[in-house]
Amino acid sequence: MEYRILGATGLKVSRLGFGCIKFKGCTQDDVTAALHRALDLGINVFDTARNYGDSEEKIGRAIASRRDDYVISTKSAGRSAEALLADLETSLGNLRMDWVDILFLHTVSSPDCYAQVTAHGGALDGALEARKQGKTRHVAVSVHRDLATMRHVIDHPAFEAL
């Protein structure tokens, strides 16, 4: 497996990552087998989100015991600091973890949304507080199809990955 450094995080991640959105339709046994097989093949980065059904719970049950073997990211669509922090607490419980490697602000896909999450009291403030508390190591943003917003994210010093 080839590995790369992810953005400005310093994290060494496998070139191939594992998106977990489809776990909401899978049995726990299938999820456990898939995640352990991926780890055994050298895949070390897994991505989930609060709105991916029961994906976080299944991941937590499957691989929480191998926490040192992988990088996990989750996402929050909360737009305020308060909403993001509440989402993160739920995610941590679901994942059976004290912290995640990367916390994404989810689907920040317009200049207006970007302005909302980066405003005082916005989701970015919550993510930075979570990092200060040790509940996430890195802060990132997911953007879908909006180049202007991507440029803003790239230029913002708080965001470590896109």
What residues act catalytically? 52
CB 50 within 8 A of CB 59: no
Closest CA to 150 of 103, 105, 106, 111: 111
**DSSP category for residue 140:** E
Give the number of other Cβ atoms within 10 Å of residue 111's Cβ.
13
State both tokens at 42: 């050298």
**In the chain, where do the E strands start and end?**
3-5, 12-14, 18-19, 45-47, 71-76, 100-105, 136-141
Q: What is the chain's percent helix, strand, coil content, to nearest 5?
A: 45, 20, 35
Distance CA 2, CA 43 (A): 9
